[in-house]
Amino acid sequence: MNEKAIEIKDLHKTYRQGFWLSKKKTLFGISLEVNKGEIFGFIGPNGAGKSTTIKVLTGLLRKDCGDVLILGKDPNESKNRVSLGYLPEQPYFYDSLSGYELLNFYGGLSGLKGKLLKERIDWALTLVNANADWIHRRLRTYSKGMQQRIGLAQAILHKPQLLILDEPMSGLDPLGRRDVREAILTLNKEGSTIFYSSHILGDVEAISSRVAMIIDGKISHTGTIDEITKETGRGSLEEVLAKEVSRVVD
């Protein structure tokens, strides 16, 4: 039996919003499993529940009900997140720091110090192909692509067993997307399980072991690319997603 990096069973999540704090349900009993060693893509349209699911997995949101485990443990316990790396879709960093200072700070939070910390920073920067010309500039001067590279670098400094990325290719040019894809593949070869969301379905098809598709807060398909396209009779994930979205709208 394959060991599980992520286990979600019958997960429900409701938000309260507006002046009257009315309830809006976002997740409707979703279930999925990610095996250790996989690169697992999580896809769906805007508002489908991808980021909400990720925030529950990382302990940033509390579930209404259901079971959620990362590496066999409850993500709401901070001690259980030691082996987790995370990059949110819209990270906020202290923009008065340089990129290198930021990594030094986050490395310290992860328990790294001295020679090992410097080695890990150099390793992470090389992996994400960060340019030495801008790594010592203030973060407030960084483009979206630079911020994504630094964000990924901080997420992997401690070489996590499980890496969760929310839209890691967002805002990147084709070369940047290539660098992130190659970084994900390298990290996976070195032992990290990768769970990531993305709107760029071509990249998902290129690197994912399996994928799950979420539509309107419910999982519609899970499996390899071939399994999903054969099951639906479609030629690509883009065609499958378009069909699922139109079905919900209709």
- Expressed in percent and rounded to 5, the helix, strand and coil fractions of the chain are 40, 25, 35
- Mean pLDDT of the region 10-38: 91
- Mean pLDDT of the region 148-158: 94
**Cross-strand pairs, 215:** 218
- 131-144 pLDDT per residue, tens: 778 999 999 999 88
pLDDT band at 249 (very low <50, low <70, confident <90, very high): low
Distance CA 27, CA 9 (A): 12
DSSP sequence for 109-151: HTT--HHHHHHHHHHHHHHTT--TTTTTSBGGG--HHHHHHHH
Q: Give yes or no for residue 250 having a pLDDT over 70.
A: no
- 91-112 pLDDT per residue, tens: 888 899 999 999 999 999 899 9
Percent of the chain with pLDDT over 70: 99
pLDDT score, position 21: 74
Distance CA 15, CA 22 (A): 8
CA distances from 13 to 10, 29, 79, 89 (A): 10, 8, 23, 19
- 174-200 pLDDT per residue, tens: 888 999 999 999 999 999 999 999 999
Q: Give yes or no for residue 171 having a pLDDT over 90.
A: no
| Tokens 């419910």, located at residue | 218
Amino acid in position 100: Y
Q: Which pTM was predicted?
A: 0.94
Which tokens sit at 201?
């379905």
pLDDT score, position 170: 83
Distance CA 88, CA 167 (A): 8
